[in-house]
């Protein structure tokens, strides 16, 4: 029994190393799934430390694989760790960890893109959005192939305050290809400034906390890996619906080397494109000759507010998609061409 006044800290008992687990269960990274294993527990411990104080926390780990980060999370004194793993090959190794940590580790064989986390943890953990973040964390070494669609999905959840963010401003500590990590954190004017930069930074405080060299992974990827920490803001820097913000930002950055008015013009039907683009820029008070990477979140706020005003004036405008108009134009041209050939 522990002496009075001292705290007992949970530590995993001696276990096979991650390398031994990989050998024992004959695990191999699948290139098509962009899997890379992190075997150095000093690095997995560092990732977990960057997530903050996890004592008695409830943690949702995505893509645990052979369980390197899983071990570090369990050793951080969490109340409960929920892991979601799509690849059934990793389940036996994770079950070994669960047996070594009774009542601490819950394993779900499923897809993180479709898994419903809203009811996975106790209701008592929920906090008001304006309060401090809840004692719930998301941590994961994400496969490169899923990292971008997953973070966009979670950013949309942040905007709607649902999914993992039904508990409040849940913090996330995630790995990305270094290039993607740099895009997520890029400042206005940076060469790495992109759609991801704006979508992440208008909703969250985003920080790249450290870089892991590619040689630390097995198999070694061709790029280094960035660890990024996200904390949702109490108030988003753009207050328009996520779908509207995403549409404006996507249109601007599809012509990233052009002046911003080029991408913005594609928000409008061809018949009134110059007039409507001019009105949008005037309402937003944005210089049409700025490049996309020169636009700050404040610029995008003004553009989104102005576009919303124009959509309210013409309810059909938001549904407009220039790609559909382009398809119709091509189809019409093809029909006319076929008719002319038939006449000949």
- Helix, strand, or coil here: 250? helix
Burial (CB count <10 Å: 0-12, 13-18, 19+), residue 28: exposed
Phi, psi of 203 (to 5 degrees): -110, -25
63 annotated ligand binder: yes
132 annotated ligand binder: no
**By the 8 A CB rule, do 299 and 238 touch?**
no
Name which of 249, 279, 68, 75 is nearest 175 in CA terms: 68
CA distances from 97 to 64, 90, 101, 104, 142 (A): 11, 11, 6, 9, 20
Question: Can you tell me the distance from the alpha carbon of 70 to that of 140, in angstroms, rounded to the nearest whole number?
Answer: 9
Name 136's bridge partners. 58
Chain center to CA of 320: 27
**By the 8 A CB rule, do 28 and 66 touch?**
no
Find tokens 């405008």 and name the residue: 317
141 annotated ligand binder: yes
Please state whether 77 falls in left (phi above 0), alpha (psi between -120 and 50) or beta: left
321 annotated ligand binder: no
38 annotated ligand binder: yes
Name which of 36, 31, 27, 19 is nearest 176 in CA terms: 36
Q: Which residues contact 323 (CB under 8 A, 6 or more apart)?
A: none
Name 272's bridge partners. none
Question: Other CB atoms closer than 10 Å to residue 194's CB: what's the count?
Answer: 21
Residues that constitute the known binding site:
36, 38, 63, 85, 111, 141
Residues that constitute the known binding site for S-adenosyl-L-methionine:
36, 38, 63, 85, 111, 141
């Amino acid at each position: 029994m522990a002496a009075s006044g001292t705290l007992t800290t949970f530590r995993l008992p001696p276990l096979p190393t991650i390398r031994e687990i990989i050998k024992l269960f004959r695990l191999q990274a699948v290139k098509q799934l962009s899997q890379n294993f992190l075997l150095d527990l000093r690095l997995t411990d560092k990732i977990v430390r960057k997530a903050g104080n996890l004592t008695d926390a409830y943690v949702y780990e995505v893509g645990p694989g052979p369980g390197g980060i899983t071990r570090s999370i369990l050793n951080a004194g969490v109340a409960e760790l929920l892991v979601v793993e799509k690849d059934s090959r990793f389940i036996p190794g994770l079950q070994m960890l669960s047996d070594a940590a009774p009542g601490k580790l819950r394993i779900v064989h499923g897809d993180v893109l479709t898994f419903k986390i809203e009811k996975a943890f106790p209701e008592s953990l929920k906090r008001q959005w304006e309060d401090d973040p809840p004692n719930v964390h998301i941590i994961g070494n994400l496969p490169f192939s899923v990292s971008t669609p997953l973070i966009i999905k979670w950013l949309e959840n942040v905007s709607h305050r649902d999914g993992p963010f039904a508990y409040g401003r849940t913090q996330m500590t995630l790995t990305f290809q270094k290039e993607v990590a740099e895009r997520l954190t890029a400042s206005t004017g940076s060469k790495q400034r992109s759609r991801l930069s704006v979508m992440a930074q208008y909703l969250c405080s985003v920080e790249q906390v450290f870089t892991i060299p590619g040689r630390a992974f097995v198999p070694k990827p061709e790029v280094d890996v960035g660890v990024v920490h996200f904390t949702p803001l109490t108030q988003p820097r753009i207050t328009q619906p996520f779908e509207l913000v995403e549409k404006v930002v996507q249109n601007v950055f599809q012509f990233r080397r052009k002046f911003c008015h080029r991408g913005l013009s594609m928000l409008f039907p061809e018949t009134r494109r110059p007039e409507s683009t001019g009105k949008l820029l005037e309402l937003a008070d944005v210089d049409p000759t700025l490049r996309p990477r020169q636009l700050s979140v404040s610029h995008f706020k003004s553009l989104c507010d102005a576009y919303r005003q124009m959509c309210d004036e013409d309810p059909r405008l938001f549904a407009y998609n220039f790609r559909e108009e382009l398809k119709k134009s091509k189809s019409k041209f093809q029909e006319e061409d076929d008719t002319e050939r038939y006449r000949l």
